[in-house]
Amino acid sequence: MTKSFWGFADRWVRRVRAARRVLLALDFDGTLAPLVDHPSRARMPATLRRRLGALTDRCDVAVLSGRSLADVRKRVGVGKVFYGGNHGLEMSGPGFRYVNPTARRLKRHTGELMRLAQVAFRGVGGVHLEEKGYGLSVHYRRVQPEQMVFFKTVLSTLKRKTHARAFHWTRGHCVWELRPRVRWDKGRALRTIWRHRGRPFVIAVGDDATDEDMFRAAVGRGFAVKVGSEKTRAAYRLSRQGEVLAFLKWTLDLVRRIP
């Protein structure tokens, strides 16, 4: 059973200090930024950005997002961070660059898939389509309840049209994503950065289904924290996104005490 992090925070103090090096891995939407009705409106609070910047002086920080690499880097806007876009298919950071080779090869199909989606959802109000270089997202948070049956019918038709391609569909918070069918996710991305940085102690924080891969990667390397009330593999939980700022303060106070 997942427990509130604050009731167990003290048990990790000695473990983190003994590790000497820490890698803090975070999701963006719903973790660093509150969820909003349109992806273009997502903003990270300035106080949280300052705290994240202070953390980069004391430990490694990675932000792994479903957004494109350029988009998440722009929205976070903090230097010395390891950024991962498209769930880690493309990553960059201090002395580090990675693009999944299979995703790079499949990238040429993204435009065609986007055109198929634009035609399919032309008559569905409230849908926002986002091309992300290595895939696309179908955001439906603004779809009205009376149109949800129509939306699901159109989505099912689009899935059938794309099922034979080298892409697959995954679901997040009010979004369906068409991603390259490769053995890659946020967990593999996290392990790649972890090895690059010399196997530090891992703290993973996220709110969405795709963050569960990060949480699995944290097992045996540190611990994971789920933001929100949904079912999770993480051992600990923050009840809402507003607690992330306090969690970053706890982490900063702790890593500042590492010798």
Q: How far is CA 217 from the centre of its chain?
A: 14
Residues 6+ apart with CB under 8 A from 159: 169
Strands 3-4 and 236-238: parallel
Residue written as tokens 């010399």?
198
Active site residue 27: yes
Q: Among candidates 207, 204, 209, which has minimal Cα distance to 219?
A: 204
Catalytic pick from 27, 71, 211, 213? Answer: 27
- Cα–Cα distance for residue pair 252/59, rounded to 1 Å: 9
- As a whole number of angstroms, the longest Cα–Cα distance in the chain is 60
Amino acid at 171: R
Please report, for residues 14, 86, 196, the alpha-carbon distance to residue 189 in angstroms, rounded to integers and kept in the order given: 27, 10, 11
Other CB atoms within 10 Å distance of the CB of residue 161: 14
User: Looking at the DSSP assignment, which residues form a beta bridge with residue 82?
Assistant: 62
Amino acid at 49: R
- Cα–Cα distance for residue pair 232/14, rounded to 1 Å: 25
The residues annotated with a catalytic role in the active site are 27
